Chain A
Amino acid sequence: MKPIFESYREIIPDFDLFQESLQKPFQTHLRINRLRVEPQPLVQLLKTRGVRLKKSIESDDSLYLAPGLESPGNLPEYFSGYIHPQALTSCLASVALAPEEGSYILDMCAAPGGKTAHMAQLTGNTGVIVANELYPRRHVGLGHTLSRLGVLNTVVSGYQAQQFPMKHPFDFVLADVPCSGEGMFRKTGEAVFYRERKSKGMLPDLQKKIILRGFDLLKVDGVMLYSTCTFNPEENESVVNHLLENRDARLLPLDTGAHHEPGICEWRQEKYDGQLKRSARFYPHRLDSVGFFMARIGRRS
């Protein structure tokens, strides 16, 4: 049988290990919500109840792997907003952006709200976060996540991300854009084959519009993070390259404390700006989480 994502064999290191990792079910990762509780006492409390947590990365004491924990939503600590089940790599997006206290922040595609809430935690509920989400039906879940986790510094808006009003620039912008979601795929249960959605081909065009608008909404010394949960270079490096070609943008160093591979500078017939090596690719066989891509972007001085 043809391996899944065979077309990426040349760009994904240790491709056989990558294939193997797709056979394993996702592990449960939890983020301990410091807006509600300090990590250490909660880790101890959960231990007495048989839930053993293991730090996901050494440098962050709020991100944990919960081996064998099947339904974290059934814990009272979930109801109380002490914990939030969130893929490790999804948490790393907020860590990579590293928003500062008292900042004006835009989350361009915010639902279901895990990253927004994480940014509220990192800023200690100070400043203001605009959590933008186009689809009204997703506002319910977004609002629920934010209120359960004790997020107070957020306003919710419903603009198309690529047409977000150019009113006041932001200190930090998170563009976690709609993508093909290849990084979410695991070959378990009935999902043996990865099926591409018909809309996949249209995504890069939308992503390019969003990244340009996100950059235009940035203050002179602001920082933006572009992220997806796909391996597809056409939705990753190619989109960031489009920004570099059309705006005075530059890629900033990116450090999450977790292992990542550098972005690629060539894909099929396309060659990308050398700066793309500063972007980050997170693979499931390296991190045992959802596959992710991130690029940290600032203005050229």
Chain B
Amino acid sequence: MKHAPQIALAAQLKVSKVGIKAFQKVGAFVKPTTRMIQTFGHTATRARVEVDEKQLQSLLADEALSMDLSLEKGYVILSLGEDFILGAGFYGQGKVRSQLPRKELRRAMFQLSTALIVPNCSAG
């Protein structure tokens, strides 16, 4: 957006928010936000960790996944399979932990047998 010529026009307005929040400082680390990862994560070539549904369920239950990755301690991009970018994880001491927003991403979302779909109600 910073390359859009109109941004100079919008800069003359009183604004409360611009674009999306990309990072925040957490201790010694710079933590990427979930939304930044969801938007740009597919272009990343390293620090990507693929999990399957069972592993994701464990992460959402606050369990750490033991993984031997050739990465330094820090934030990683979690994806379900290759394509479904989820958000951030944290890798350290041979374990990956979830940094996914608990309120928004719930275990039930991935339990496909749950009653997300109700029997046809006057759908016509």
What residues of A have a CB within 8 angstroms of the CB of B114 in the complex?
74
Contact B17 A155 (CB under 8 A): yes
Q: How far is the CB of A206 from chain B (nearest CB, A)?
A: 21
Is B123 positioned at the interface, with any CB of A under 8 Å from its CB? yes
| SS of B interface (majority) | loop
Q: How far is the CB of B1 from chain A (nearest CB, A)?
A: 5
Q: How far is the CB of A88 from chain B (nearest CB, A)?
A: 14
Is A139 positioned at the interface, with any CB of B under 8 Å from its CB? yes
Contact A152 B39 (CB under 8 A): yes
What residues of B have a CB within 8 angstroms of the CB of A167 in the complex?
9, 12-13
Q: How far is the CB of B69 from chain A (nearest CB, A)?
A: 23
Contact A68 B10 (CB under 8 A): no
Whole-angstrom distance between the alpha carbons of A75 and B112 in the complex? 9
Contact A79 B104 (CB under 8 A): yes
Is A283 positioned at the interface, with any CB of B under 8 Å from its CB? no
Q: How far is the CB of B24 from chain A (nearest CB, A)?
A: 13
Q: How far is the CB of A111 from chain B (nearest CB, A)?
A: 12
- Looking at A143-151, A242-250, A271-279, A289-297, the stretch in contact with chain B turns out to be A143-151
Which residue of A is nearest B122, CB measured? A24
Contact residue among B6, B112, B118 (Cβ-Cβ distance under 8 Å from A127):
B6
Contact A68 B120 (CB under 8 A): yes
Contact A76 B110 (CB under 8 A): yes
Q: How far is the CB of B17 from chain A (nearest CB, A)?
A: 4
Contact B39 A150 (CB under 8 A): yes
Contact B118 A68 (CB under 8 A): yes
Q: A150-B35, A167-B13 are in contact. Are A67 and B7 (CB under 8 A)?
A: no
What residues of B have a CB within 8 angstroms of the CB of A146 in the complex?
20
Contact A126 B4 (CB under 8 A): yes
Q: How far is the CB of B124 from chain A (nearest CB, A)?
A: 7
Which residue of A is nearest B114, CB measured? A74
Contact B12 A168 (CB under 8 A): yes
Is A141 positioned at the interface, with any CB of B under 8 Å from its CB? no
Whole-angstrom distance between the alpha carbons of A36 and B114 in the complex? 25
Q: How far is the CB of B106 from chain A (nearest CB, A)?
A: 8
Q: A74-B108, A75-B116, A80-B84 are in contact. Are A155 and B10 (CB under 8 A)?
A: yes
Contact A155 B84 (CB under 8 A): no
Q: A128-B9, A146-B20, A165-B13 are in contact. Are A153 and B117 (CB under 8 A)?
A: no
Is B18 positioned at the interface, with any CB of A under 8 Å from its CB? yes
Proximity string of chain A (151-192) to chain B, C-beta cutoff 8 Å, 1 when within and 0 when not = 111111111000001011000000000000000000000000
Whole-angstrom distance between the alpha carbons of A69 and B115 in the complex? 10
Q: How far is the CB of B54 from chain A (nearest CB, A)?
A: 15
Which residue of B is nearest A154, CB measured? B19
Is B28 positioned at the interface, with any CB of A under 8 Å from its CB? no
Contact A168 B9 (CB under 8 A): yes
Contact A156 B15 (CB under 8 A): yes
Residues of chain A from 85 to 120 with CB closer than 8 A to chain B in the complex: 102-104
What residues of B have a CB within 8 angstroms of the CB of A3 in the complex?
none
Contact A67 B120 (CB under 8 A): yes
A-B contact pairs, 9 of them (CB 8 A): A50-B112, A71-B116, A74-B114, A76-B110, A81-B38, A150-B35, A152-B19, A155-B15, A158-B14
A-B pairs with the 3 shortest C-beta distances? A67-B123, A128-B6, A156-B17
Interface residue ranges, A against B (CB under 8 Å): 24-25, 27, 36, 49-51, 67-71, 74-76, 79-81, 102-104, 125-128, 130, 136, 139, 143, 146-148, 150-159, 165, 167-168, 288
- Known pairs A80-B85, A153-B19; list 17 more (Cβ under 8 Å): A25-B122, A49-B112, A50-B112, A50-B116, A50-B117, A69-B116, A69-B117, A104-B6, A127-B4, A128-B7, A147-B20, A155-B17, A155-B18, A156-B18, A159-B13, A165-B13, A168-B9
Interface residue ranges, B against A (CB under 8 Å): 1, 4, 6-7, 9-10, 12-21, 35, 38-39, 80, 84-86, 104-106, 108-110, 112, 114, 116-124
